[in-house]
Amino acid sequence: MSISDPIADMLTRIRNANAAKHDTVDVPASKMKISIADILVNEGYIEKYDLVDEGAFKNIHITLKYGADRNEKIITGMKRISKPGLRVYVNKDELPKVLGGLGIAILSTNQGVITDKEARKLKVGGEVLAFVW
């Protein structure tokens, strides 16, 4: 079965694994998903990720991050913004702030997949992929 929105599938897998308090989650790999996982590691939302080669397919093996005890979640929420049926683009003046700057917006720009903070520094706009808080 083909997935119509692979990024939403990745976010949903992470959200579900986080809700079920799993240590790890596997996601089918693509360049865009690796970029998103890289941002989540750099911003401190997930602990690490590894590329796992399973024959013909590659997976991203994501290790989730929790607080001092298992009940304290680092990722409170994730939301897909730009969908295949309705793309959402912003210019450099309209960059969104998630929870007043407490969360991050992930954007796809001509400079690559970056956060809203980096987009402000580089003064670029692009497609708003997701919000993470």
pLDDT tens digit sequence for 73-92: 999 999 999 999 999 999 99
Q: For residue 9, what are the CA distances in angstroms to 2, 3, 68, 80?
A: 11, 8, 28, 10
- Has residue 2 got a pLDDT over 80? no
Mean pLDDT for all residues in the chain: 95
Residue 63 within a domain: yes
Residue 1 within a domain: no
CATH code of 21's domain = 3.30.1490.10
Domain that holds residue 69: 6-132
Cβ proximity of 125 and 109 under 8 Å: yes
Residue 99 within a domain: yes
Instruction: Output the pTM of the full model.
Output: 0.93
Residue 69 within a domain: yes
Residue 48 within a domain: yes
Domains held by the chain: number:
1
